[in-house]
Amino acid sequence: MLEFLALGSDPAAAKAVAQELGGTAYLSSGSSEGRPFASIVRVATSDPARLAPASDLGLYLAFSRTMRAHPHNWTGPNPTPGVVAAFGLVRRSDRSHLEADAHWRDIHAPLALRIHIGMWAYTQCSIVERFSGEDYDGIALCGFGSDDDLRQRFFDGPEGQQAIRDDVASFADTQRSPRRVLCQEWTFR
């Protein structure tokens, strides 16, 4: 699905924009110091200017692929249970965007679904066009049912952890890709 991604520094503005436009907001609850962004808004809209309050750090058009959908068994307007780890992706310089994206989708995703045993939701947002912000190739949204699942069940073991690291290094620039941002998900769709 094509949708806009707004990266911002103000979680309250992001939540308000997502609610107004019927989208989803990912809001960092901790300090945003040293992090590439404090919020993400995902929304399909014909008026991207309405995302301005939430996009001071970047505005992108992305093709979002749900690789694993989390179970919807709660009611709003409350946040989704658990935590989402958002990872920015910058491809290796020796790979085109299409090559890196194909690897991410076809090779990395099945590996991640097998090794990240506590991950209950996984969406890849492949950047189609950058209007402003850092030159990301994608944003990965990895949902876990709890902080404990994220900390203790991110990998199935040391071999799985190494397999993920090796695979990511084969298509992503691990030095330029920003560190993860932990968020709470608010869906207003």
- pLDDT tens-digit map of 55-105: 999 999 999 999 999 876 666 667 888 999 999 999 999 999 999 999 999
* Cα 150 to the center of its chain, rounded Å: 15
Write down the pLDDT at residue 70.
Answer: 82
CA distance 29 to 59: 21
Cβ distance 80 to 123 under 8 Å? no
Can you name the residues that pair with 11 across neighbouring β-strands?
none
State CA 87 to chain mean position distance: 5
| Distance of alpha carbon 179 from alpha carbon 88, whole angstroms | 7
For the stretch 13-22, pLDDT in tens is 999 999 999 9
For 2-187, give the CATH class: alpha beta
Look at 81 and 10; give whichever has higher pLDDT: 10
Q: What is the pTM of this model?
A: 0.95
Name the pLDDT band for 29 (thresholds 50, 70, 90). confident
